Structure 1
Amino acid sequence: MSASSSDIVLERNPEVANSIAAAGIRTNYHDVGSGAPVLMIHGSGPGVSAWANWRLVMPELAKRARVIAPDMAGFGYTDRPSGFTYHMDAWVRQVIGLLDALKIERADVVGNSFGGGLALALAIRHPERVRRLVLMGSVGVPFTLTPGLDAVWGYEPSIENMRRLLDIFAYDRKLVNDELARLRYEASVRPGFHESFSSMFPAPRQRWVDALASSEQDIRRIAHETLIVHGREDQVIPLSNSITLADWIARSQLHVYGHCGHWTQIEHAARFAQLVGNFLTEPEPHKG
């Protein structure tokens, strides 16, 4: 039997996986492995997708869990509805819609950067849907917009600009080369990608940092076991964010990687996967 054209597309592009309606949004999502569900929410870089963000980590975590990684509205291969307003309420609704559509009552949630802010909001607004929380290089607390994040959100498509962004993202220069810059640039200019991205965080951008933040009072009420991860040399999201989160979340632990920028899940992929996997599978701490 010959492969259909859709099968051929799927074989050629690993970023395209499953499709389901989540709160009315046709959502592209990866669903690999079996066991307890782990929802992984990507960051907000230009041309990002769940696969681009988590491709090195998903196979390892899938050895001991069911890993679900969606493209959030406005990113990747999820639909971009006409007139859709990108804001935290809409993204939280999409996540809850996805969990409902997949009949998942509760999941561990791993959020990267923008995805960390969304994971925080989810745990605050729907605590019963979250078991444990992992926040990596996370937004979600008040901070002053960094030049790195301003450059990421203000990206204008060119290979040269993408190369400059990659230099900001990664501490390890060996990870940054012209081939990667070309691939990420091509991802950023796929039909509809830059249009939605450029409309999401227009200047002045401090207001979007603030819009993605949850209140200190709400964060301090989070009762979930929480793992907080950050790269010491992160130029996009300051390490002080994670120190603040570790202070505000009572049942938290903080892990800082040295010689690491904003790409913990890529620069330290094996260590990150092991750290997260161990955290999600360890027994509940004794409450004496």
Structure 2
Amino acid sequence: MAEANQRDGNNPEIAHSVIANGIRTNYHDTGTGAPVLMIHGSGPGVSAWANWRLTMPELATRFRVIAPDMTGFGYSQRPEGVRYDLDTWVDQAIGLLDALDIEQASVVGNSFGGAIALALAIRHPQRVRRLVLMGSVGVSFPITEGLDAVWGYQPSVENMRALLDIFAYDRKLVNDELAQLRYKASIQPGFQESFSAMFPAPRQNGVEMMASPIDEIRKLEHQTLVVHGRDDKVIPLQNSYDLLQAIPNAQLHVFGKCGHWTQIEHAARFSRLVGDFLAEA
């Protein structure tokens, strides 16, 4: 059973808490209607709230939105000896659905979260209604300089500012205040230790670890929306073309003048696009 709301009035990133496959998991649960599970990306200091803060309120007007911190990120437990891999993250996601008595949900995955969403749909197809993959990992590709910099992040305000410049197409979104906030998020106790353990050099191995077999991707029957920023420096646009070609029931939407932050740089349009897709019968 989920515990009562654990929200810290001073920290919007902390919400509900439940045991998901043995991992104490911090998650957001808002709105009513058909359930939508939203899985965040893998930036340093990221949390479900930081990733989806502009999207959750919009989708929650139409759906029940559930957004967990995956283990190793945010305010979920980091059990001693935990393996940071697809098996662990997929099992945590399924454990969360089980704990909340949700038989089936649509799944929205951002970047790293896209790889988890893809693997979840392959391994547990009956648990997934529709699939949204945004700037997604999940197929093999030569690692970009941008992703290598993200996964190789060492904490400093300057390094965080450099990463924000990589993430966003729109320079107006990047300022010293945001860099300071995200830097502080990245150095909370346990955050950098788990982050640096996930994707050690050579980080191409991390790309392959997060990839699902292409033959399994081709077997997916789910209606799938693939979304990408045309100017993404972290995950290549080619990934989404590859997913479009591989998934039989896929459609692709590419946002121009957009980097890796589709859900932030084009927040209203992204939420409307995803909401309309998930609302289809």
- Which residue identity does 2:97 align to in structure 1? L
- In the TM superposition, residue 250 of structure 1 has moved relative to its aligned partner by 0.7
Residue number in structure 2 paired with 1:96: 94
Tell me if the contact between 2:107 and 2:132 (Cα under 8 Å) persists in the aligned partners. Answer: yes
Q: Distance in 2 between matches of 1:205 and 1:114?
A: 13
Residue number in structure 1 paired with 2:277: 279
Q: Once the two structures are superposed, what CA deviation does each residue of 1:149-179 show, in whole Å capped at 9, x if it has no partner?
A: 0000000000000000000000000000000
- In the TM superposition, residue 217 of structure 1 has moved relative to its aligned partner by 0.4
| Matched residue SS, 1:10 | coil
Q: Distance in 1 between matches of 2:77 and 2:205?
A: 25
Q: Distance in 2 between matches of 1:19 and 1:260?
A: 34
Q: Distance in 1 between matches of 2:125 and 2:31?
A: 24
| Matched residue SS, 1:246 | helix
Structure 2 residues not aligned, in runs of 5+: none
Out of 198, 201, 225, which is 1:200 matched to? 198
- In the TM superposition, residue 85 of structure 1 has moved relative to its aligned partner by 1.0
| Matched residue SS, 2:9 | helix
Q: What TM-score do you get using the length of structure 2 for normalisation?
A: 0.98
- Which residue identity does 1:239 align to in structure 2? L
Where do 1:3-18 residues align within 5 Å? 10-18=8-16
| Matched residue SS, 1:271 | helix
Q: Is 1:170 the equivalent of 2:168?
A: yes
Out of 251, 255, 267, which is 1:269 matched to? 267
- Describe the shift of the 1:89–1:54 C-alpha distance in structure 2 as closer, same or farther (beyond 3 A): same
- Which residue identity does 2:165 align to in structure 1? D
Where do 1:128-147 residues align within 5 Å? 128-147=126-145
Q: Once the two structures are superposed, what CA deviation does each residue of 1:123-150 show, in whole Å capped at 9, x if it has no partner?
A: 0000000000000000001100000000
- In the TM superposition, residue 83 of structure 1 has moved relative to its aligned partner by 1.0
Q: Is 1:223 the equivalent of 2:221?
A: yes
Q: Distance in 2 between matches of 1:251 and 1:121?
A: 16
Q: Distance in 2 between matches of 1:239 and 1:9?
A: 37
Residue number in structure 1 paired with 2:232: 234
Out of 30, 54, 61, which is 1:63 matched to? 61
| Matched residue SS, 2:141 | coil
Q: Distance in 2 between matches of 1:61 and 1:118?
A: 20
Where do 1:64-79 residues align within 5 Å? 64-79=62-77
Q: Once the two structures are superposed, what CA deviation does each residue of 1:21-80 show, in whole Å capped at 9, x if it has no partner?
A: 000000000000000000000000000000000000000000000000000000000000
Give the number of the structure whose alpha-carbon radius of gyration is greater.
1
- In the TM superposition, residue 9 of structure 1 has moved relative to its aligned partner by 6.5
Q: What TM-score do you get using the length of structure 1 for normalisation?
A: 0.95
Q: Distance in 2 between matches of 1:162 and 1:102?
A: 35
Residue number in structure 2 paired with 1:30: 28
Q: Distance in 2 between matches of 1:182 and 1:257?
A: 28
- Which residue identity does 1:108 align to in structure 2? S
Q: Distance in 1 between matches of 2:133 and 2:81?
A: 30
| Matched residue SS, 2:277 | helix
Structure 1 residues not aligned, in runs of 5+: 1-5, 284-288
Q: Distance in 1 between matches of 2:146 and 2:122?
A: 28
- In the TM superposition, residue 213 of structure 1 has moved relative to its aligned partner by 0.3
Residue number in structure 1 paired with 2:157: 159
Q: Is 1:259 the equivalent of 2:254?
A: no
Q: Once the two structures are superposed, what CA deviation does each residue of 1:222-269 show, in whole Å capped at 9, x if it has no partner?
A: 000000000000000000000000000010100000000000000000
Q: Distance in 2 between matches of 1:143 and 1:224?
A: 23
Q: Distance in 2 between matches of 1:213 and 1:32?
A: 30
- Describe the shift of the 1:8–1:49 C-alpha distance in structure 2 as closer, same or farther (beyond 3 A): closer
Q: Distance in 2 between matches of 1:254 and 1:88?
A: 24
Q: Once the two structures are superposed, what CA deviation does each residue of 1:92-147 show, in whole Å capped at 9, x if it has no partner?
A: 11011000000000000000000000000000000000000000000001100000
Residue number in structure 2 paired with 1:105: 103
Report % sequence identity. Answer: 72
Calculate the aligned-residue CA RMSD, in Å. Answer: 1.2
Q: Distance in 1 between matches of 2:182 and 2:192?
A: 12
Q: Distance in 2 between matches of 1:7 and 1:238?
A: 38
| Matched residue SS, 1:11 | coil
| Matched residue SS, 1:171 | coil
